A and B are shown apart, each in its own frame.
Chain A
């Protein structure tokens, strides 16, 4: 049982959430221990050395390298152990190493003020070309339907479906300002910077419907920029994707329009 759930931490839903929760437990445990032991010591000093009638302070000076350095050095050693043996490998796993393409679900997330556009490549596994001049109300991401790869793409607003237990690689792109992809249950967060394609991976471990809320101030509608991450069983996910896939005729007629 994780005590942090009592203080707000939502139940985890991704593979690396356990690593991050371990880090939170470790650092918060250290904070509470250090704070209370120091506070007790401080309270003792304040009480023990209070001003008494006729009392006099000791004339004691500590020059040079004093024992005040010891707590600092202990802290330094513990912190460096934490960084070298835990933080650098875990950070590398989450943010630096991307899974090999192949058996992964690839999704484009195109953030805009104030919505999440989600693009799946469809059965061909290729994302259709996007072009800025094609952006319109009915085609928010400017998908070029003349591109053969675009014909089977699935484009949605504010709904990101992911299959349970399968690696997903999400390409984060922004059309206007900086947004931030944050799903508290996944324990993941990544700024989405216009002009960049930032990949992010996640392997969901729990079926559910989670808030996908923008975490970087993006304008007056920032707090309303909420989408949903829907984690489904792989069978339900496949069935859903098949249902959503546009038939070629509809796609080409949309293009003519």
Chain B
């Protein structure tokens, strides 16, 4: 392939190359994760030591945010809402779905680029505009959103900062929709000759199903957000009932709207969004486990069937977030049944991954450690969801710290660990160099300890009946005996931060000085390892064709422990 002579701006900024766009997503979303983590570290100081001045930062920020160095409740609510938004919409979703998807999916199907390179570029820049609007909202006189990342009206309509949040969400949702179209068309139409649907790697299947979920789930919340925007700026009453009295003053709203309507529209996106975060992570874990256990993935068809089942079921579970919202209690039984039913495909996916280890010859590389830890840690996240899906036990646990513990085990202990594993796994493909293994192991063990120490105490706090989103938990007498667990959680959050230092150092050091490796250092079978590392413009030096399934490891009657998908003779 000839190297194009391109200007810096065209190569690194306004690029249409899927690999560079993937790297743009990667660096943007990793930065968002770090920033969102700093937000919550400030909050964790307040939670562990309510009313004590924040060290250093307290004196640097304005008196409105931190009077006398102590975090104000408004500032706490701003950080809370922005932490959730940054982690979910700017961090995990773009990292798993967009960054890995953009880099790996075209390579795994043997395509020279995405189907619509320009749409791909627009998708990334739409995402950047959304990020910038959110960042800008911190500098407004009103500050950013203060009503939780879920922005429930009427609170979101009477606190300020909501307008910018909605505008940002519209750009971010648009970006996801454009990306989803691109992935579906690329994954289905640009497959190399011989790469039938039954030979697609699980990661490609996961990205295709995720794209379909995005296409179906995001438009309703985008429409709902426009209605919320109209309520905020044009004084309509889509979500406002009549006769509200806000802090002693009659609200001028005409009324006739319903606050719960927003919750339905939001969670119609919100729950499928969990699978948007999860499925790419499962795809990554499947690739890593098959590669490192050196045997074919167990139950390929059962896994694909489970992914497709999740695609359908994820659209009929949203109201399990609304059991005690004031929605008719007669609706809850239906959603309890669907919610517990959707655990079945997840159990099958995990079972297949575990069974894939049986009879293997497991290599304990850094990516494999992260992938293996996904199995029990995501297991905790999934299992602790059962008492929340069951309506009766949800009455007690809803809106407590237990919920926070549950979804952080899912998203951080499960999904983020898998994404870290993916970074270590595909780093040699991206840069032609390997990340340092011992630093990777320090990162792994530090993160495992930090995550469990941070999130496990939340189960105890929740069982003690402590509500989430409390600026000062000690204002409520029943929380006082359990305060020590907030301190434990905050200390381990600090350890979690320290554990990321070897990762950041390793990433940038290996980028320039890491050990140079061959095109296929992990001895992997899929097409992404059949092109040079890093792949040139157009990816493959010669046209590829596929002759077999994706995970032909340790085939009988061969000395090698793998046959690439594109190897012609057996």
Contact = CB atoms under 8 A, between A and B. Distances in A.
A133 B80 CA distance: 35
B387 A91 contact: no
Contacts of A87: 333, 336, 390-392
B158 A177 contact: yes
B158 A223 contact: no
Interface stretch (B5-13, B212-220, B357-365): B357-365
A104 interface: no
B464 A23 contact: no
A125 B464 CA distance: 36
Given A91-B329, A184-B464, A194 B244 contact: yes
A236 to B, nearest CB: 22
A83 B337 contact: yes
Given A69-B348, A211-B476, A60 B464 contact: no
B77 A188 contact: no
A71 B467 contact: no
Given A27-B386, A83-B390, A193-B260, A62 B298 contact: yes
A72 B345 contact: yes
A64 B421 CA distance: 29
B325 interface: yes
Given A190-B326, A194-B259, A57 B364 contact: no
Interface string B245-287: 1111011000100111000000000000000000000000000
B519 interface: no
B351 interface: yes
A27 B387 contact: yes
Contacts of A30: 383, 386
A198 B361 CA distance: 59
Interface string B275-311: 0000000000000000001111011111000000000
B155 A57 contact: no
Nearest to A132: B243
B236 interface: no
Interface string A50-67: 111001111111111111
Contacts of B325: 191, 193
Interface stretch (A7-15, A153-161, A248-256): A7-15
A90 B392 contact: yes
B475 A59 contact: no
B155 A217 contact: yes
B119 interface: no
A38 B376 contact: yes
Highest count of chain B CB atoms <10 Å: which of A34, A57, A180, A214: A57
A27 to B, nearest CB: 4
B455 to A, nearest CB: 15
Interface string B460-503: 11111101111111011110001000000000000000000000
A196 interface: yes
A138 to B, nearest CB: 11
A105 interface: no
B148 interface: yes
A217 B464 CA distance: 18
Contacts of A226: 475-477
Nearest to B159: A219
Nearest to A211: B478
B139 interface: no
A102 B400 CA distance: 35
B42 interface: no
Interface in A187-235: 187-196, 198, 210-211, 213-224, 226
B326 A198 contact: yes
Nearest to B357: A45
18 contacts: A7-B459, A20-B392, A51-B362, A55-B361, A62-B302, A66-B302, A71-B347, A83-B340, A95-B329, A176-B246, A178-B154, A178-B155, A180-B399, A193-B325, A194-B240, A211-B476, A215-B398, A223-B471
Given A68-B348, A224-B475, 15 more contacts: A8-B482, A20-B395, A41-B354, A49-B357, A63-B299, A66-B352, A72-B348, A91-B332, A135-B250, A137-B248, A176-B158, A187-B396, A189-B324, A194-B241, A220-B72
